[in-house]
Structure formats: C-alpha cells, structure tokens
A and B are shown apart, each in its own frame.
Chain A
Amino acid sequence: MRFLLLFSRQGKLRLQKWYTPLTEREKKKIIRDMTTMVLARQPRSCNFLHWKDLKIIYKRYASLYFCLGVESQENELLALEVIHRYVELLDKYFGNVCELDIIFNFEKAYFILDEFLMGGEVQETSKQTINRCIENSDMLQETMEEYMSKPAF
C-alpha cells in the first residue's frame, strides 16, 4: 500500500496516511488528483481505477470517501475489504461513526489505523484484538471528570 486518504464529498481531506516517503508537493498533487478523479466517478461504477503505476481502490461510506493507492500486483478486492475493516474498527470505537467523529478525533483515527496497518501492510486483522488494544490505551488515559476540568484554551 502506498497511501490512504479520507475525504468528504466536497473534497475536504479528513485523513492522510503515506507509506512511502514523498515531498509535501508530491503529496498535494496526489491529493488533488485523487479527489478530482474519485469525486468525478458516476455512482455504481466499479471501485477500481488505474493511476500512473498504481491501482486506486475507493469506496464511499456516507459522506466520506476512503481511497487507497496500492502497487499494481496487489489484490483489489482485498484492498476494498481493508477499507471496510477500517470503517468497522472506527465504527466500533466511536459507535456509529460519522465524519464529525473523525474531524474532532483525528488523532484517534490515526491510532486505530496504526493498529490495523503498518508500513502499508496489514498487521492485524482481528477486530477483537485491535479493539482490545485501543481500549487498553484508553484505559491509560484520564477520566472524563479530569477532561471537563481542563482549561478550554
């Protein structure tokens, strides 16, 4: 896997994860290309595209597009399920995840992703295992009470 992007129907980027070193310029170019390409697709088209030497696998969940760039020998259907599993993980964590959850808790979205994928490869596919990890790290955090007493600025 080379990258994972989450963007809204309006083309607003919500999450970006890069698995190969790229310059900021290259990243911006890819983001622009992906959003224009994917948003221009007709509904009920297939979920795969070719772009340069990569395969692009995308899927829309409610208002969010999940877009994966993978090497040409990778399995498209499995990549589609990588996206789905990530959505399931987010859903399990946030409970009926929506775009706002990802906006306000972007760091959590990254942490969950890191438990699932690493360096562009699937690290752990078990939903239970991943959820246990995330919950454990949440246990290490402070309570809601402490949260409310924190200053707003």
Chain B
Amino acid sequence: MPAVSKGDGMRGLAVFISDIRNCKSKEAEIKRINKELANIRSKFKGDKALDGYSKKKYVCKLLFIFLLGHDIDFGHMEAVNLLSSNKYTEKQIGYLFISVLVNSNSELIRLINNAIKNDLSSRNPTFMCLALHCIANVGSREMAEAFASEIPRILVAGDTMDSVKQSAALCLLRLYKTSPDLVLMGEWTSRVVHLLNDQHMGVVTAAISLITCLSQKNPDEFKTCVSLAVSRLSRIVSSASTDLQDYTYYFVPAPWLSCKLLRLLQCYPPPEDGAVKGRLVECLETILNKAQEPPKSKKVQHSNAKNAILFEAISLIIHYDSEPNLLVRACNQLGQFLQHRETNLRYLALESMCTLASSEFSHEAVKTHIETVINALKTERDVSVRQRAADLLYAMCDRSNAKQIVAEMLSYLETADYSIREEMVLKVAILAEKYAVDYSWYVDTILNLIRIAGDYVSEEVWYRVIQIVINRDDVQGFAGSYLLFSPIISGRCVVPLVQFNLLHSKFHLCSVPTRALLLSAYIKFINLFPETKVTIQEVLRCDSQIRNSDVELQQRAVEYLKLSSIASTDVLATVLEEMPPFPERESSILAKLKKKKGPGAVSVTELDDSKREGGELNGGGERAADTAAMAASNASTPSPSADLLGIRSSAPMGAAPAAAGSLLVDVFSEAGPAAPAAAVNNDGFLRFVCKNNGVLFENQLLQIGIKSEYRQNLGRMYLFYGNKTSVQFASFSTTVSCPGELTPQLNVQSKPVEPLVEGGAQIQQVLNIECLSDFSDAPLLNIKFRYGGALQNLTLKLPVTINKFFQPTEMTSQDFFQRWKQLRSALLDNVDPNPENYVCAGVIQTKGQQVGCLLRLEPNAQAQMYRLTLRCSKESVSKRLCELLSQQF
C-alpha cells in the first residue's frame, strides 16, 4: 500500500512501485518491469502527444526501474524535453533523470546544455540552482567547456541570491576537479576569497570548499585567505553556542564551517604575521580547552560535532609540527580518548596518534601510551579498531621499544583476524629488519613469524629475508647462496640430515617459486653434506618432483638429480660455488606495504629510514672492485643517507677504509633500482661511475639495463635491451666501438645479438672488457633497429671507467701516510689524521701496469664543502679519477 505522498505525488508511479514490491519472485518482478517498459515505450512512440505530467510520470518510472538495477536504453529525449518545461516539478524530474543517467550522446548533451543555459539566464533562483546541480552532478568535460567561464561570473555577481552563490561555488569546484584547465583564474579569484567574510554562513560554508581546493593548487594566489580564515575561525570559536542560530548544531557552533576553516589552514604553513599566528594559537588552545569542559548535551551528536572540530584542530597542529606545547597537549588529549567508552573515539585516537608519532616533538609522548595500545590490540572487540592499534604500534616503534612491539605483534598474530594477517606479517618483517640490532634476534623473529603465520608470509618477505641473509658476511660462512633455510634451522639442530628433513617437511606448503629455491638448496646440501645425498636424490626422484606439472620445478628436479649422480665432487663444488651478494635495492616488503592503503602505510621518510638502517644490516657484502672510489664519492653526498657515514668516522683511520667502503657499496649502489630514465645519454653514464647495475637508458621504445662486474683488469658487462612496445623491433643490431686513443687502451668484445626483438621481450648481450692501460674516454654503444618501419639510431656512452678496475688495498695508517708522502706533490706538508676525513687506497689493474692510488676526502661541514685529493703513481690517472669523482658530488 502506497505511503502517503506529500505535495505532488504521482499516483501511477506509486501504484507501479507497490506492484513491484508485491512481486513474490525475481521473475515476477522482471515480468512486471517488462510490461511497464513496453507500456512506456508505446506511450512515447504513440501518435498522441503526451502532456507534461504523463511524460514526467513515465520518466520517473524509468528512473525507478534503472535504480532497481535494470538497464534503460530509452527515454532520454523525453527527459530532455522536460528540462524546458515551465512547471518546476517537471523540470526537476527531468534534471534528476539526466543527473542519474548521464548519456554521452553528444547530440543530447548539446540539448541539455541549451536547457541549462536558458535556466542559468532565467534569473529565477530555483531554476538556476537546478541547472547548477545538474552541471555538478554530470560534471562532464563538455559541460565544463560550456559553462566554466559563466559560473565564476554568477558566483561573484553582486545581485546573485545567496542560495545560487552556494550552488555556483560548489558547481565550480566540481568542474575544477574534473577539468582544471578550463577553469581560468582571473579577476573573480580575489573576490572569491572575500566570500570568507560573507554574512551568510551558508555561503561561507559552500565557498570555503572551493577556496580550499583552489588554494591547494595555487597557494600563492590565495594566500590572503589565511588571515581571513583565522579571523572567521576565531569569531566562531569564541561565540556563545546560541549566537549562530541555526548554524549551531547540538550546541556546537558551526561545526562544518569550523572544520572546513581548519582544513583550509592546513594548505599553508603557519602564518608569518605574529598577530594572526597568535590569534590562531589562541583558537587552537580554546578548542583543546573545550574538550575538557563538561558536555552541554548527552546526545552523541553533540560530542561528535565537538570532537570533529577537535580532531581537525589536532590535524592542523600536526601539520604545523612547530608548537611543541600544542603537540604534547594534543597527544595527551588523544591519550584520554584511547580509553574512552565510545569505540569511535578510540578508533580515531589511534588513527590520529599514528601521525603524531612521526613528529619529533610528540614521538616520545606517544610512546608513553604503549601499554594502552598493546592492550587495545589484545582486547578490542572490533577488528578495525585492532587494526588501527597495530598501525599505531608500527608507527611508534623505534629502537627503544622494537623488541617489545615486535613480540606483541607476533603474539597477536597467533589469533589475529585473517583479514589483517598479511599486513601484520609485512609490518613485523619490516620492523624486525629496521630495528635489528643483533642478527640472531632478526632470524629468531622471522623464524617465529614463519612458524606462526607461514601461510601469510608472502613471497616478498621470503625474498627479502633471503637477500638480507645472503648479504651478511657472517652467514656467508655457511656457503650456498640459497641456504637461508639452513642457518635458520641449524640454530636448533646440527645434523644436516635432520636439517634437511625439517626443511623438506614444509616443502609442500610453499609456493612454486619458493619450491624452486628449495630444490636449489637441496642440491647445495648434497654438495656440502655428502651424507644427505641418498635421501635427497630420493626426494628428487619421486614423481611429485620429476613429473611435476610445473616446468621449472620439473626441470630443476631432473637436472639436479642428474647433476648429483654424474658430476664429481669437484665439479659439483665448482657449479655450486658461492654467489656474489645481491645488489641492494628497495626492500620488496616495504614496496608491498606501501601498495596497501591506510594510514599504517609507510611514509616516504620511513622508507628512507629503513633504507638507511636496513643498509646497516645488509652491509658487508663482498667487496666490489671499485670500493675505494665509491666510498669516497659517497662520503659527502648531501643525501639523507649521509648520516650513515657517521659510523665510519669512528673507524680507525686508514686501517679499514676498504672494509668500511664495502659497507657502503650495498647501501649506495641501490641509488635507485628504477633510476629515472636518462634522457641525456651522458647522464646515464655519470650515474654509473659508482655503481655497476641499473638502467642506463630509457625512452618510450627501449630500455637498456646494465649489470657489470669487474675483477683485476677484466670486466664483464651484461646489457639488457627491453622492447617496451608491443611491436617487434626488426634489424636490431648493436656495435661497440672504442673511439680514438681508446683503441689501444681498452679491448671490448661482444657477441652479435638476435636481429628480432619481440614486443615486450628482453634480450641480453654480454661484453667482455679488458683494460690494457689507463684510459680516459668511454667506449660507445651504437644501437640500430627498425620500429614500425622507421629506423632508430642511438649512441650511448658505455659506463666503463678507469675506477672500475680498482683493486682495494688494506693498509695501516702508517703505511698510508708513508706512501702518501712519497706520492706527494709539493702542495701539502702537514697532514693531521683527522677522523672526519676519509681515505682510500687501491690499485688500478691494467694489463700493462698497475697504478697505485691514494685518496683523501676532507669534508668541511660548516662550509658545506669538501676537498678531494688523489695521488696516483701516474698523473693522467689522478686527473681522470678527479674528473669522474668530482662529478659525483
């Protein structure tokens, strides 16, 4: 039975809706709808012209059917006709239909735009508002093109009614969001800012949304809004709850406007004008004070509105991050909320504290709530609150409490909801890595993590753990590159066979890539512990391996089985020789967590942090050939990583430059795994002076990656040519040449590459490089190919530089300075062993001769300058090294 309709109901519509509701089944409903659609279609097509009312009724029925979830493919024209009706209700239904069922039909849009234009110029505020609503609801590009210049005029015109101003402001905001290029700043912009002073609170409320959005994009042009917003806010905050009449919401004066003002202020730094700033701080203090006052009403609406302003004020305080007093007060206030009986407030307090935790002023204050937060993680009934608690623990974690937090998170994981386990695992893995002081704690934690939530340990975590373990010197003693698993287990038992059994017991739970790694680990077991051979061969031989449906696993099983039975122990040992450490790169788990949303996601600074600290943990890989140069070149890089170098100032001078350098190799060679493409070829070249791997060149078609390794006077470079398009490259050829005097100095040999590179494919080329004598120029790589018929020709400098052939040398302080003096030119006399300075020693290996090099880098922190001195047994070498290294700073 139809509910009573107020005003002008449509009886036919009510009957139809009632019919639909009475349908006993989905089929009956569809039948009824089809009957109605047929009826409407025939009415629309009929010879008799429909009156406005019928048209409105049928259009409304169509709308109802559409909102039930059925497709509507007619009636648009009739709806457009309604727009030009003189009757308000018909026009209104027409606009509603258009707003809900936008049609991209350009013919129709033109008609709609015409109707809108008429209504906008009608000077009838009700019609104008309808038209503005329609523009805002549809918000298409065509509409923006038609009206973007008209609406600002309506907005600032002196005779525009308040209600129209409100609609115009928000309509313009919508157009600005969809087509910012079409909304041109102009004379109106300054007048818009002054709407903040408007007497009508509704106009201010609407206009401020527009101003906030415009300020975000053009902060300078809208700067004046700061002082206006502060004085408006101050007036509201200090007003009695009845002053604002209907804009007081449950005894809270203008909560929406207050929050929007506070949000607008978050687009700007703290006001420079002392008076304005003083007034604002006063407002913020008043808001914080009000939170302590007894509530004026028991209604939840009152406390919600009041606290909405409080949270927005806290956001502003955090945004400024410059008023320690306010930050600590904010933190204390949130601390009270952590134990509030309202779940919503506990949730928001946890969320808000996450951001406070990242401020240096309030980090410690946040940490004092650790027990409450841990308790929330354990006892909150609502999973989303628990999730916020986990986020906050993650955010407040530092060296001092890492062990406690990680332990709590681990124990929570045992009972955690499935929906958040994966994220929790990532967080534990990241914290364990970031704050690992000793290696055994890290391994213990990860081991526990795997035990508790093995199913949720994603590949990224596995890979990361492998990377870290492999890059550790002390684990490398275990030999065998993928033997991560072995050291973990060997903490508990030493018998290799038992180790193997333990490892294998988890095999069936692992994903295919992990299983592949495990198979490789098995063959290494055979190599290291011959007594496991029989057992492992049996495992490899069983059907589930050798007939595995996965090609990769099957191939590994077959090959390893064969290898273990044919190859002699010597051959086996050679084949399975230790691999060099992984090049350091951004932690895959951080990347994964970043992809996840939510405030718990990692901020950029955290990422930097963990790169830095992760680096410490990962350092100490095998020495790269260009260690010495690298250490020096990084020594005064003004990057956030610079403080890492602090570690080395305490190292005995001269005694361990190479070792300290090798720590840095891993940290810095990651300078960007996806280093931005080099448009200028020389740029790419320079980036590789101190690193061996990365992307040398990239444009829309082609990406060239490099991996290189050097030993003594020999080098090998792998070039990876990736076709970024979906189209084949034809006649692909590359040539490497040594121009001019480089020919007798450097010998580069390459094998030709396949002439076809399929779309999306990558091909590899190996270059063998021999350094005959010292050199200054770089070899050139020329690449030619046809892409869609057009010949592409590209020449790049190959990053082969003299410093790649360094062999690091260890020497004591005494030795160093003895040699230093021997190589001295007349420039320096007294050299103080200043611990701030970095020294490196190395020998450049060429076929013809060896060139000894000593390097000193003397930073001057005050002047933000440094002095780099190189002394080599050959002058041309010092010159070239200086050129190369100085460009790195």
Contacts and interface: CB of A to CB of B under 8 A. Distances in A.
Given A77-B348, A78-B259, A111-B92, A42 B381 contact: yes
B88 interface: yes
B76 to A, nearest CB: 15
Given A78-B256, A122-B205, A105 B344 contact: no
A106 B170 contact: no
Contacts of B387: 50
Contacts, number: 197
A64 B6 CA distance: 21
Contact of B15 (A53, A72, A77, A153): A153
A153 B39 contact: yes
Interface string B103-125: 00000000000000000000000
B430 to A, nearest CB: 19
Nearest to A77: B308
Interface string B1-22: 0110111111110110110010
A133 B129 CA distance: 11
Most chain A CB within 10 A, of B15, B263, B301, B387, is at B301
B420 to A, nearest CB: 10
A141 to B, nearest CB: 4
Interface residues of A, number: 65
B470 interface: no
Contact of A105 (B3, B140, B312, B381): B3
Contacts of A78: 255-256, 259, 304-305, 308, 312
Assign chain B's interface to a size class. Answer: 35 or more
A48 interface: yes
B259 A75 contact: yes
A17 to B, nearest CB: 9
B304 A80 contact: yes
Given A42-B381, A105-B5, A118-B136, A81 B305 contact: yes
B14 A81 contact: no
Determine the main DSSP class of B at the interface with A.
helix
Contacts of B174: 118-120
Given A106-B64, A138-B7, A44 B136 contact: no
A119 B171 contact: yes
A21 B178 contact: yes
A126 B206 contact: no
28 contacts: A46-B344, A50-B384, A72-B599, A77-B305, A77-B308, A78-B256, A78-B305, A81-B255, A94-B6, A100-B3, A101-B3, A104-B2, A104-B18, A110-B96, A118-B174, A122-B256, A122-B260, A123-B167, A124-B206, A126-B201, A129-B163, A136-B126, A137-B88, A140-B87, A141-B88, A141-B89, A147-B8, A150-B11
Q: Which 6 A-B pairs have the closest CB atoms?
A: A141-B8, A119-B174, A77-B308, A138-B7, A140-B88, A78-B308
Interface of B: 2-3, 5-12, 14-15, 17-18, 21, 39, 53, 60, 63-64, 67, 69, 87-89, 92-93, 96, 102, 126, 132-133, 136-137, 139-140, 163, 166-167, 170-171, 173-174, 177-178, 201-202, 205-206, 209, 245-247, 249, 254-257, 259-260, 263, 301, 304-305, 307-308, 311-312, 343-344, 346-348, 381-382, 384-385, 387, 597-599
